[in-house]
Amino acid sequence: MGEKLTKITEGVLKLKMITNRGVKVYPDGQPETFLTDHYRCRFISSEGNGKPISHSQITKALDIFSKEGFDFIKTENLYTFDGEIGYSLGQGE
């Protein structure tokens, strides 16, 4: 799934990681990890320089996911405040 998401969002967003039950499964996940049907994907700007993601990038990515048969149930924008992150880091971040 990670490789496909990376490919279909190229030039729009960059897939940073996928977690399942809080455990990193992509990239470099452990094959023995018990998985459920609920994944969390963290994307960053395709420019990779800490630039915020625009709403148009988000809607474009969601449209791509839908067309490619990926279901999504929630989006969460991750913000910084005065240079401090305002969200929880994923495993290994």
What are the domain boundaries of the chain?
2-85
Q: How far apart are CA 93 and CA 66, in angstroms?
A: 28
Q: How far apart are CA 93 and CA 89, in angstroms?
A: 6
**Banded model confidence at residue 93, pLDDT cuts 50, 70, 90:** confident
**Banded model confidence at residue 26, pLDDT cuts 50, 70, 90:** very high
Whether 28 shows a pLDDT value over 80: the answer reads: yes
| Stretch 61-69: mean pLDDT | 97
**Banded model confidence at residue 15, pLDDT cuts 50, 70, 90:** very high
pTM equals: 0.89
Q: What's the CATH number for 2-85?
A: 3.30.70.1570
| CA Rg value for the chain | 13
